[in-house]
Each structure stands twice: as structure tokens, then as C-alpha cells.
């Protein structure tokens, strides 16, 4: 199999991204919601592609000098292969080039692998959002990362 390429999401990717949404999340975004993000001037979505197949994706919103990570997901059979890290690295590059100095995200408090990955990239827990998630109901851990602009 070929190498993983990180690239900007295009409309033709939406169906494959929807498949990832359905596999990874108990309450997936709708196809229209994902497609509309491609036309949102404040949003940037990227895909991880391997041998022509979308195996992961990540989305962010640029809000003044902050980046809010909206979603990140990798197909189960491609997890623990560094793809999530590649997506985060690319997002950090985009933030630096856009002079964004802070990144934030929410993650299920029980999602220890994701929390560990985010900490590896310098995200720190700063609080919780009670009952933020549904199916099942669970708190969200709020994490922030400072980006040092060169």
C-alpha cells in the first residue's frame, strides 16, 4: 500500500468522510453539514488519503487568532499508525502560517488514547463541559495549546 498523503478536503471526498463519521461517532454529522463546511470561509478540512482511499480527516475553524478543532477521525483499521498525528501536525502548520496563536478542542473524558495524543502535541486540559456528549452522555475535556509563532 502507498504512503499517506495529507491534503485539503474537496467535495468528492464527502461520501468517504461520511463513512468515517458513521463508523467513528455515535452521533455523526450529516452529509450536508460536512459539505457545507467546504464553503465556510472560516473552516479548513483536510483528509488523510492512502492508495486513493480516505482513511482519516480533521476539521478546524479559524476564529480570529484561535483554531477550534471541530472533528478528527481515523478509520479503525488505520488507527495507531501515526495518521492522527499527521493530521494534527498539518493543522499546526496551517495555524502557524495563518498567525493563529491558540488551538482548542473538546474530547470525551473517557477517550484516553486521544487525550494522550493531544498531550503529546502540547495540549493541556483546562476544564470540562458537563454532559457535552450524547449517546452516551459524557463530559468533554477542554484542551488548549499555545502556538509559538516563529
What does the block give as the cell for 75?
478509520
- Give me the CATH number covering residue 138: 3.40.630.30
pTM over 0.85: yes
- In which element (H, E) is residue 130 found? strand 124-133
Write down the catalytic residue from 106, 132, 133, 148.
106
Backbone angles phi, psi at 129, to 5 degrees: -110, 110
Confidence tier at 137 by pLDDT (50, 70, 90)? very high
| pLDDT tens string 76-115 | 999 999 999 999 999 999 999 999 999 999 999 999 999 9
pLDDT for 43 equals: 96
pLDDT at residue 53 tops 80: yes
| pLDDT tens string 12-41 | 999 999 999 999 888 889 999 999 999 999
Pairwise CA distance, residues 72 & 49, whole Å: 14
- What mean pLDDT do residues 44-61 have? 97
pLDDT for 7 equals: 97
Q: State which residues form the domain around 122.
A: 4-146
- Give the chain's domain count: 1
Write down the catalytic residue from 66, 118, 138, 148.
118
118 among known catalytic residues:
yes
Amino acid at each position: 500500500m502507498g504512503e499517506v498523503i495529507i491534503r485539503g478536503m474537496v467535495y468528492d471526498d464527502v461520501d468517504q468522510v461520511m463513512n468515517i463519521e458513521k463508523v467513528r461517532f455515535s452521533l455523526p454529522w450529516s452529509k450536508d453539514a460536512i459539505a457545507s463546511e467546504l464553503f465556510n470561509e472560516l473552516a479548513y478540512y483536510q483528509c488523510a488519503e492512502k492508495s486513493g482511499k480516505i482513511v482519516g480527516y480533521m476539521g478546524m475553524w479559524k476564529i480570529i487568532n484561535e483554531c477550534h478543532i471541530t472533528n478528527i477521525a481515523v478509520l479503525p483499521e488505520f488507527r495507531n499508525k501515526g495518521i492522527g498525528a499527521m493530521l494534527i501536525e498539518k493543522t499546526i502548520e496551517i495555524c502557524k502560517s495563518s498567525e493563529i496563536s491558540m488551538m482548542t478542542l473538546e474530547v470525551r473524558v473517557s477517550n484516553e488514547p486521544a487525550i494522550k495524543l493531544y498531550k503529546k502535541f502540547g495540549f493541556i486540559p483546562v476544564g470540562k463541559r458537563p454532559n457535552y456528549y450524547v449517546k452516551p452522555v459524557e463530559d468533554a475535556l477542554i484542551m488548549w495549546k499555545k502556538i509559538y509563532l516563529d
